[in-house]
Structure 1
Amino acid sequence: MSHLLHLDASARRESFSRALSAMFAQTWRAADPEGGYTYRDLAADPVPHIDEAWTDLCYYVLAEGITDIGRYHEAVRTPAQAKAWAITEPLIAELEAADVVLIGTPMYNFSVPSVLKAWIDQVTFPKMSLKGRSFVVAGARGGAYGPGTPREPFDYEERYLRDFFLGHFNVEDVTFVHAELTNALIDPGLAGLRDKHEQSYDDALGLAAELAGKLAGR
Structure 2
Amino acid sequence: MPGLLHLDASARSTSFSRRLGARFADGWRAAHPGAPYVHRDLAADPVPFIDEAWTELCDELMRRRITDPHRYHEVVETPAQKAAWAVLAPLLDELLAADVVLVATPMYNFSVPAALKAWIDQVTFPRMSLAGTRFVVVCARGGTYLPGTPRAAVEHATSYLRDFFDGHFAVTDVDVVAAELVNSLVDPVLADRRSEHEASVASAEAEVDRLVAAFAAAAA
What interval of TM-score do these two structures reach, taking the shorter chain for normalisation? over 0.9
Name the residue aligned to 1:214.
214
CA distance in 2, matches of 1:87, 1:73: 12
The 5-angstrom pairing of residues 33-182 of structure 1 reads 33-182=33-182
CA distance in 2, matches of 1:13, 1:78: 38
The 5-angstrom pairing of residues 11-30 of structure 1 reads 11-30=11-30
Shift of 1:173: 0.5
Question: Larger relative contact order (C-alpha < 8 A, sep ≥ 6)?
Answer: 1
Structure 1 counterpart of 2:213, which letter?
G
Structure 2 counterpart of 1:126, which letter?
P
CA RMSD of superposed structures (Å): 0.8
CA distance in 1, matches of 2:99, 2:106: 23
The 5-angstrom pairing of residues 188-199 of structure 1 reads 188-199=188-199
Name the residue aligned to 2:205.
205
**Aligned residues between the structures:** 218
3-state DSSP class of the match of 1:6?
strand
Q: Is 2:57–2:75's contact at 8 Å kept on the other side of the alignment?
A: yes
Could you list the runs of 5+ residues in structure 1 that have no partner in the other structure? none
CA deviations over 1:133-163 (Å, ceiling 9, x no partner): 1101110000000010001011011221111
Structure 2 counterpart of 1:29, which letter?
R
CA deviations over 1:11-47 (Å, ceiling 9, x no partner): 0001000000000000000011121100000000000
Q: Is 2:139–2:158's contact at 8 Å kept on the other side of the alignment?
A: no
Could you list the runs of 5+ residues in structure 2 that have no partner in the other structure? none
Structure 2 counterpart of 1:117, which letter?
K
Answer with 97-106 or 155-164: which moved more. Answer: 155-164
Shift of 1:209: 1.7
Structure 2 counterpart of 1:99, which letter?
D
Name the residue aligned to 1:186.
186
3-state DSSP class of the match of 1:156?
coil
TM-score (structure 2 length as normaliser): 0.97
TM-score (structure 1 length as normaliser): 0.98
